[in-house]
Chains A and B, each alone.
Chain A
Amino acid sequence: MFETLSDRLTTVFTTLRSKGRLSEADIDATAREIRIALLEADVALPVVRLFIERVKERARGSEVSQALNPAQQVVKIVNEELIEILGGETRMVRFAKTPPTVIMLAGLQGAGKTTLAGKLAKWLRDQRHEPLLVAADLQRPNAVGQLQVLGERAEVAVFAPQPGNGVGDPVAVARESIDHARRNNHDVVVIDTAGRLGVDEEMMKQAADIRDAVSPDEILFVVDAMIGQDAVNTAQAFMDGVGYDGVVLTKLDGDARGGAALSIRQVTGRPIMFASTGEKLADFDVFQPDRMASRILDMGDILTLIEQAEKTFDAEQTAKMATKFASGEDFTLEDFLEQMMMVRKLGPIGNLLGMMPGMGQMRDQISQVDDNQLDRLAAIIRSMTPAERANPKILNGSRRARIANGSGTAVGEVSALVTKFAEAQKMMRQMANGGMPGMPGMPGMGKRAKGKGKQDKKKKRKGGNPAKAAEREAQKAAERAARREQPGAVPGAPGMPQLPPGMPPLPPGGKMPDLSNLKFPKK
């Protein structure tokens, strides 16, 4: 009954021994198993159909891999597609220009809204915000009391002027809360609302009225990771009824596959922003598409195999890149494109950046970077000739116009890329040659940070797959970051203590710039 996809695919693999070309039959056999696995992971049927089509199409057009057999190739494509759809354009909370920033929660009964409200409040407070929780669920018995208890635990103020249990007008409460927040210097307002069904028109109308009363900066749709095929109906009903800007998956601490993540992302196009992973206030994470992808299909062991098969190639590439950085040899646009695509595979850029230690102060800039922009950059670089990529200096006006045309961008964008890339190149050279002038050391960067010897040993022991290790570390960093009391107080730099083999040691004292005080030369 609970045969995993890995088990199933192993059967498929044994029948497909040939390396090289992907035949239609290979693709079909693999796709059939993946279809079933997706359905058993609760991905909604219409989404499964779309997804399988996409995978098949890509598989047909994909280049023959040197390292993998056909079924492995399909699995790899599946994984990449999953990550791409799940990640796509991810972003962090958008804060309003003039406070308070208003965040409204909506979802089915029992989804985890109230708990999430508490978690968000704590998370915001940890980032030195001054959040206000608003009790606008006046329906469920003692929902108001529940929120008050959570507010106490999170040490965050709660606005609860109405007793609830059917008494009071949630729209009025929400409206008044904004004024209350202004008067009491709260810069973020988190509104908990009653659970409601997609088919309940009256309650949907109420949600829309709350929305209209407070014009939220973010409406978050909260959904239980255990939800089955109904995910699409409900996600759509809430989209039509109130609309939302982001999705939060809850109860990810269980063993549900969480296919709903894929369904909702695909159907609504809204990014999944957070993961709720337990009943305690700290059980809260930024959503990680790659982790979700392997959770949905449980392809862990197969992917490890694939990674291993490909590792040799990757290792070569990385080594090449590292020498390039280190030797001061010019890092070209070609390299930039290649590396950018590699980094992109690791997940949404916003999340990665958020995980980097010392980036606390950079959140504003980080939040401006989204994956669409990466795609635009990639498009621009791809429209260049190899010569142009190697030497952007030759890009005169007419070349720039041609590139802009070819990539569907503006000439200004092309020029901006060229200028900024030149700055970046300079910065790379400086970093490689002993750090940037006037930059304090990055705390804990590299092995030479104070008193990190013990940790180093632990890290080394893990060894093994570097990508996995990096992922583990990044995960830990994110966890720590979520729990820490003050931004920027992360000890060490868990994201990147391991240097690749053949990498020259970083200058003593860590000459990587402290990102929180990063300054760049002005143009």
Chain B
Amino acid sequence: MDYVILAVILLIVVVLAGAVALLRPGRRTAAPPAEQADSTVSDGATATGAGQDEADDAGVGILDRPGVPPTPEVETPPPSAGRMVRLRARLARSQSGFGKTLLNLLSRDALDDDAWDQIEDTLITADVGVASARAVVEDLRTKVKVAGTRDPEEVRGLLKAELLTQLGTDLDRTLHTAPHGERPAVVMVVGVNGTGKTTTCGKLARVLIGDGGSVVLGAADTFRAAAADQLETWGSRVGATIVRGPEGADPASVAYEAVSSGIAGKVSTVIVDTAGRLHTKTGLMDELGKVKRVIEKQSEVDEILLVLDATTGQNGLRQAQVFAEVVNVTGIVLTKLDGTAKGGIVVQVQRELGVPVKLVGLGEGPDDLAPFDPETFIDAILAD
């Protein structure tokens, strides 16, 4: 069998590429004879590998406002009110097409099977999943029938009510970041790779500091290249202290150090950034459980935020399930809602796990984080 395959492939090459081509000398065999002396070093103009020298420190150190060029100035965050308006506008811009499509379909003269199918499809393209989309359509169908209405305002009202039900109005979305007397609140930020954990840590610190608090950031991502540097940059940008260890250090001990330095420094909140990990990697998930348990030797963990990227499809539910099993997730942060993705997977996540979305990320800037309020959210989606 294999021999036949090889023979046939050989034939194909002969017939296609041809004997002439086969005889042509390989053009890349003439590699530069001498080994490039610079092959292991950065041969470009030297860029500042920020904090790279700190990485050599043997132990975990506290770096108060490290000098990361360019010297960042900590700006005062804008008032919360203005932020909400700006973010709502951004949300409306990226998400309103979805709302409009639904509204248009619902206001059709003939609300026939075809229209309902299209409504289902619209929901599916928002990543809510086939089963959820069907359930919503069934529900909405009954409601529209009962109400017997075609009036655009009333239809909008019905749709809004339905979407609100899906997003859940009875979930407690309070963020537990307030200190308990002398002791800081501890927040852990977890999730799969690249969802926006570090960015969320930075943005959240910014909000808390803007509200008069003080924050220690714990760089418990000791794995990814320059992850601690990234958090450090965020720290200096928003005015938070950072605790970091050398690259490859035990993340649990870095987290522990961060919390003890937070306690010692009497800060209001400690936010622990963790390395991105796929929920399928049991070793890494165990490691995460250990980070939490080690922190708990000194302090309870008040909030464990799972960061979900809005572009994530149905796999988001699996992620949430496994993370919730391992570390008791208390809230979801839905990031990258400033793009075209709808993040519909959170509907299933909230329903299956009862874990509420508490925050949404709407950009890469320090102020692009907003509390999640279903009502405001849906208003933005259904805005004209």
* Interchain CA distance A166-B237 in the complex, whole Å: 12
Interface string of A141-155 (1 = CB under 8 A from B): 111111111111101
Q: Which residues of chain B come closer than 8 Å to A424, judged between CB atoms?
A: 11, 14-15
Within 8 Å of chain A (Cβ to Cβ): is B141?
Answer: no
Given contacts A145-B50, A322-B4, contact A365 B13 (CB under 8 A): yes
A139 in contact with B124 (CB, 8 Å): no
**Complex: A180 Cα to B44 Cα, angstroms:** 8
Contact B32 A111 (CB under 8 A): no
Smallest beta-carbon distance A302→chain B, Å: 20
A518 at the interface (CB under 8 A from B): yes
- Given A424-B15, A496-B2, A520-B14, A185 and B47 contact (CB-CB distance below 8 Å): no
**What residues of B have a CB within 8 angstroms of the CB of A109 in the complex?**
194, 196, 336, 364
* CA gap between A470 and B194 in the complex, in Å: 35
Interface segment among B147-155, B264-272, B340-348: the answer is B340-348
The answer to whether A229 touches B233, judged by C-beta atoms less than 8 angstroms apart, is no
The answer to whether the Cβ of A135 comes within 8 Å of any Cβ in the partner chain is yes
Beta-carbon nearest neighbor of A432 in chain B: B7
Q: Is B195 an interface residue (CB 8 A)?
A: yes
**Using Cβ atoms and an 8 Å threshold, which residues of chain A touch B6?**
356, 495-496, 512
Q: Which A residues lie within 8 Å of B279 (CB)? A: 254-255
B70 contacts A374, C-beta separation under 8 Å: no
Give Cα distance in the complex from A152 to B38, angstroms: 11
CA–CA, A105 and B336, complex, Å: 20
**Interface of chain B: mostly helix, strand, loop or mixed:** loop
Q: Is the CB of B39 within 8 A of A257?
A: no
Q: For A156, A157, A158, A229, which residue has the most chain B Cβ atoms within 10 angstroms?
A: A229
CB-defined contacts of B46 to chain A, threshold 8 Å: 160
For residue A301, give the distance in angstroms from its CB to the closest CB of chain B. 20
Of the residues B21, B23, B193, contact of A110 by C-beta under 8 Å: B193
**Interface residue B189 (Cβ < 8 Å from any Cβ of A):** no
A residues less than 8 Å from B12 (CB atoms): 340, 343, 349, 369, 374
Residues of A within 8 Å of B39, CB to CB, are 125, 130, 155-157
Known interface pairs A151-B42, A163-B69. Does A259 touch B313 (Cβ–Cβ under 8 Å)?
A: yes
Whether the pair B42, A157 counts as a contact (CB closer than 8 A) is yes
* CB of B344 to closest CB in A, whole Å: 8
Distance of B250 from chain A, by nearest CB (Å): 18
Point out the residues of chain A lying under 8 angstroms from B177, CB to CB: none
Q: Is there an interface contact between B196 and A42, defined as CB atoms closer than 8 Å?
A: no
Q: A146-B224, A417-B15, A424-B11 are in contact. Are A255 and B315 (CB under 8 A)?
A: yes
A165 adjacent to B233 (CB under 8 Å): yes
Q: Which residue of B lies closest to A203 (CB)?
A: B364
Question: Can you name the residue of chain A whose Cβ is closest to the Cβ of B5?
Answer: A343
**B2: which A residues are within 8 A, CB to CB?**
466, 470, 473, 495-500
Q: How far is the CA of A148 from the CA of B94 in the complex (A)?
A: 34
* Whole-angstrom CA separation of A411 from B221 in the bound complex: 63
Q: Are B11 and A336 in contact (CB under 8 A)?
A: yes
Q: What distance in Å separates the Cβ of B36 from its nearest Cβ neighbour in chain A?
A: 6
- Inter-subunit contact A523/B49 (CB<8 Å): no
Selected from B69, B192, B313, the residue in CB contact (under 8 A) with A228 is B313
The answer to the question of A489 belonging to the interface, with a C-beta cut-off of 8 Å to chain B, is: no
- A150-B313 Cα distance, complex, nearest whole Å: 29
Contacts of A54 in B (CB 8 A): none
Write the chain A residue with the least CB distance to B35: A130
Q: How many residues of B contact A (CB 8 A)?
A: 97
B36 CB contacts on chain A under 8 angstroms: 130, 157, 184-185
Q: Which of B42, B193, B309 contacts A279 (CB 8 A)?
A: B193
Interface: B110 (CB within 8 A): no
Q: Which of A315-370 contact B (CB under 8 A)?
A: 318, 321-322, 325, 336, 339-340, 342-343, 346, 349, 352-353, 356, 361-366, 368-369
Identify which of residues 237-267 in chain A touch chain B, using a CB-to-CB cut-off of 8 Å.
Answer: 237, 251, 253-257, 259-260
B14 contacts across to A, CB distance below 8 A: 420, 423-424, 427, 520
Partner of A257, one of B41, B94, B234, B315: B315
* Across-interface contacts of A50 in B (CB, < 8 A): none
Q: Judging by beta carbons under 8 Å apart, are B223 and A279 in contact? A: yes
Do residues B22 and A108 form an inter-chain contact, with CB atoms below 8 A? no
For residue B303, CB closer than 8 A to chain A, the reply is no
Question: A356 near B45 (CB under 8 angstroms)?
Answer: no
Once bound together, how far apart are the Cα atoms of A42 and B43, in whole Å?
Answer: 43
Query: Are A229's CB and B226's CB within 8 A?
Result: no
Quick check: A428 and B225 within 8 Å, CB to CB?
Answer: no
The distance in angstroms between the C-alpha atoms of A500 and B28, with both chains bound, is 37
Does A16 count as interface, using CB distance less than 8 angstroms?
A: no
- Contact, CB under 8 Å: A44 / B4: no
Q: Does B8 contact A (CB under 8 A)?
A: yes
With a cutoff of 8 Å between Cβ atoms, the chain B residues found around residue A336 in the complex are 8, 11, 15
Task: Please state if B1 and A466 are interface contacts (CB–CB under 8 Å).
Answer: yes
A446 to B21, CA, bound (A): 27
Q: Is the pair B312, A498 in contact by a Cβ cutoff of 8 Å?
A: no
The stretch of B56-64, B125-133, B159-167 in contact with A is: B125-133
Provide the bound-state CA to CA distance between A515 and B11, in Å.
12
- The listed residue (A42, A185, A237) touching B314 by CB distance below 8 A is A42
Q: How far is the CA of A431 from the CA of B11 in the complex (A)?
A: 12
How far does the Cβ of B346 sit from chain A's closest Cβ, in whole Å? 12
Q: Does B146 contact A (CB under 8 A)?
A: no
Are B50 and A155 touching (Cβ within 8 A)?
no
Interchain CA distance A438-B190 in the complex, whole Å: 62
User: Given the complex of chains A and B, what is the CA–CA distance between A1 and B314 in angstroms?
Assistant: 11
- Nearest residue in B to A520 (C-beta to C-beta)? B19
Mark each residue of chain B from 89 to 129: 1 if its CB lies under 8 Å from any CB of chain A, else 0.
Answer: 00000100000000000000000000000000100111101
> Which B residues are within 8 Å of any A CB, using their own CB?
1-19, 21-24, 26-29, 31-32, 36, 38-52, 68-70, 94, 121, 124-127, 129-131, 192-196, 198, 223-227, 229-230, 232-234, 237, 278-281, 309-316, 318, 336, 338-342, 344-345, 352, 364
Sample of 14 more A-B contacts, CB < 8 Å, known A149-B225, A226-B315 = A109-B336, A114-B225, A125-B39, A145-B48, A145-B229, A156-B39, A199-B338, A224-B194, A228-B345, A230-B339, A361-B26, A420-B15, A424-B11, A470-B2
Q: Which 7 A-B pairs have the closest CB atoms?
A: A228-B313, A110-B194, A42-B313, A496-B2, A149-B225, A160-B47, A159-B44
- The 16 listed contacts between A and B (C-beta, < 8 Å) are A39-B130, A108-B311, A110-B195, A141-B233, A155-B40, A157-B36, A157-B44, A158-B44, A164-B47, A165-B233, A228-B314, A339-B4, A466-B2, A495-B2, A503-B3, A519-B23
